[in-house]
Amino acid sequence: MVSSRTSWGSLRPLGLAVAILLAAVTAWGQTEWTKNKGNPVDWDFTGQAAEKGNEEAFVWDLVRDVGTSSNQISFNQGANGVWFFMQSTTLAQEESSYSLLTGYTTPCAEFGVEGLLCWYPQLPYTYESGFPWIGFNTTADFPPSLPWPARTLAMHPAPDKLAIVGWSSPVNDKIDIEGSFIDFDLGCGNGVAWFINRGNRTLDSGVLLPGPDTFHLSKVRISSGEVLYFIVDPLDNDYVCDWTGLNLTIRHHHGD
């Protein structure tokens, strides 16, 4: 297990390396952006993303990006060189202890339903080592007997480890962050706590009660390569029924 982990401290340069790699595969990137957006976009990964007439190029939508970019799954990241699916070593929110969920399977190993994508701490999958996990339901419905709505991203912590979505900033500027954490598995368990951290500093947090918990942070100043972490904590080491949805959109803030 230990051998499969890499400290996130060493992965921050890796994130940049991946970004540079993505810049290198310009043909793919422009094809993809052309297809999705109508206009190719030049990315300058030194930190100033150069826009060519397309505001949407500065919107990172987690569900949209993960749902439309399966060709980047081999990078163990969602899409666009910014999303990372991660775990912690303990429940402490210490950036240097975070590592990627490197065990990707589809269908999800424990569910066996076509169209479900899952990222686990390691492979081969075992139930004991299978938490935390993060997954995406690409199908148009709930899978049989699972609390997982169509076209949504689900996070599930371990009793002693956080489930974490990371966003590595490609821009040096202000951003707006909005979305919601959602309790997908109602009527059981003690709930979860959620956090939005920039590095090790908490920007927002809450305890998830039934129903969605929305967040909206405006004009957050961020540097290129700095990472935002969207964290689900099991709350008092109880991970029963902790399926948690995450909707998340990050926008480059224009204006003052």
Strand-pair partners of 231? 164, 195
**Contact region for Ca ion (CB under 5 A) — 10-18, 82-90, 174-182, 230-238?**
230-238
**Contact region for Ca ion (CB under 5 A) — 3-11, 86-94, 114-122, 181-189?**
181-189
Residue 189 lies near Ca ion (rule: CB under 5 A):
yes
Evaluate whether 121 touches 110 at the Cβ level (below 8 Å): no
Q: Which amino acid is at 105?
A: T
The count of residues interacting with Ca ion (CB under 5 A) is 9
Name the minimum Å distance from CB 236 to Ca ion: 7
Residue 233 lies near Ca ion (rule: CB under 5 A):
no
Instruction: Convert 96-108 to b/e letters by CB count within 10 Å (16 or more is b).
Output: ebbbbbbbbbbeb
SS3 102: coil
SS3 10: helix
Q: How far apart are CA 81 and CA 18, in angstroms?
A: 7
Residue 153 lies near Ca ion (rule: CB under 5 A):
no
Q: How far apart are CA 235 and CA 142, in angstroms?
A: 26
Name the minimum Å distance from CB 185 to Ca ion: 4
For 254, which DSSP code? P
Name the minimum Å distance from CB 187 to Ca ion: 8
Query: Which of 32, 173, 183, 233 is the binder for Ca ion (CB under 5 A)?
Result: 183
Name the minimum Å distance from CB 205 to Ca ion: 15
Q: How far apart are CA 95 and CA 87, in angstroms?
A: 10
Residue 235 lies near Ca ion (rule: CB under 5 A):
yes
Residue 95 lies near Ca ion (rule: CB under 5 A):
no
Residue 238 lies near Ca ion (rule: CB under 5 A):
yes
Q: How far apart are CA 87 and CA 157, in angstroms?
A: 8
SS3 193: strand
Name the minimum Å distance from CB 132 to Ca ion: 12
**Contact region for Ca ion (CB under 5 A) — 2-10, 20-28, 33-41, 177-185?**
177-185
Q: How far apart are CA 87 and CA 183, in angstroms?
A: 19
**Contact region for Ca ion (CB under 5 A) — 30-38, 172-180, 220-228, 238-246?**
238-246
Residue 213 lies near Ca ion (rule: CB under 5 A):
no
Name the minimum Å distance from CB 137 to Ca ion: 17
Residue 76 lies near Ca ion (rule: CB under 5 A):
no
Query: Which of 180, 190, 205, 247 is the binder for Ca ion (CB under 5 A)?
Result: 190
Q: How far apart are CA 83 and CA 99, in angstroms?
A: 13
Evaluate whether 18 touches 75 at the Cβ level (below 8 Å): yes
Query: Which of 32, 61, 233, 242 is the binder for Ca ion (CB under 5 A)?
Result: 242
Q: Applying CB under 5 A, which residues contact Ca ion?
A: 183, 185, 189-190, 234-235, 238, 241-242
